[in-house]
Amino acid sequence: MTQAPTPYRIKASWMEACNCDSGCHCNFGGFPDHGSCEALVGLHISDGNIGDVDLSGVKAVLAIKWPKAIHEGNGNAAVFIDESATEQQINGLATILTGQAGGMPWEILATTITALDGPILKPIKMNVNGTSSTFSIDGILEAKLTPCKNPVTGEDNEVHIVFPKGGFIWSDGNSSTTSVMKVDHGTVKFDHAGQSGIFAPVVWTNQK
């Protein structure tokens, strides 16, 4: 097939929670703190489209387990999309997240996934609020980000990891921790409250 992929451009809020210590060591050389990478990601598209399909307002959640570092592959992923999305929106977002439409980071991330369940349509609750963001799907998963705290004074610390020339997934990650972080969906099952959380704006496209 030589047909050019449908052009897309999306702006979204990325809310990640994983099993690494706060800061997430994968940002600094690629290898997780505790051997494996187990992550929940909430995605709220504030503005975007793929071809003629408007993706604004679409919500999705990814739950993924990689047995080692992400770039070493063999990921086991479940992709949830909010059931309010139209069939065209579901197909469009699935095309992006599975790497079929090209563009970073998905054309790379998709190659690290060997088992994919989804897209699964569920009601997704999501509150986009920086390092206090939350998302959940009743009976399946829940994540609550909470700001880093100064261990002495207890005050919030705002700590950004910035890739000045552009990062792989995001370029300015507001680092946090989590008060809740769990999923129970078939073989994707973990619970890592108190570890790393990151809130970041993302802009993804397969166009120049």
Partner 1 sequence: MAAKNDITWQLKGIIIGACNCDWGCPCNFDAPPTYGNCNGAYIWQIQKGQFGDVNLDGFGMGWIGESPGAMYLGHSTTQLIIDQRADEARRVALLDLLSGSFGGPFEILASITETWLETIFAPLNMVIDGLNSRVDIPGILELGLTSIKNPVTGEPEELTLVKGTGFISNNTEMGATAVYRYTGGFQHEHSGKYGEFAEFEYRSYR
How many residues comprise the chain?
Answer: 208
Nearest to 192 by CA among 45, 35, 72, 27: 35
Among 135, 196, 202, 206, binds partner 1 (CB under 8 A): 196
Q: Considering only the stretches 7-15, 22-30, 85-93, 128-136, report the one whose residues sit in contact with partner 1 under the rule CB under 8 A.
A: 22-30
Cis peptide bond N-terminal to 119, omega within 30: yes
What the block records as the tokens of 104 is 């970073």
Cβ proximity to partner 1: between 163 and 189 the closer is 163
Closest CB 151 distance from partner 1, rounded Å: 5
Q: Which of 94, 159, 185, 201 binds partner 1 (CB under 8 A)?
A: 159
- Matching residue, tokens 């990640």: 16
Q: Which tokens in the block code for residue 17?
A: 């929670």
When the beta carbons of 34 and 189 are compared against partner 1, the nearer one is 34
Look up tokens 């020339």; give the residue. 165
List residues near partner 1 by CB under 8 A: 21-25, 27-31, 33, 69, 71, 148-152, 155, 157-165, 175, 177, 196
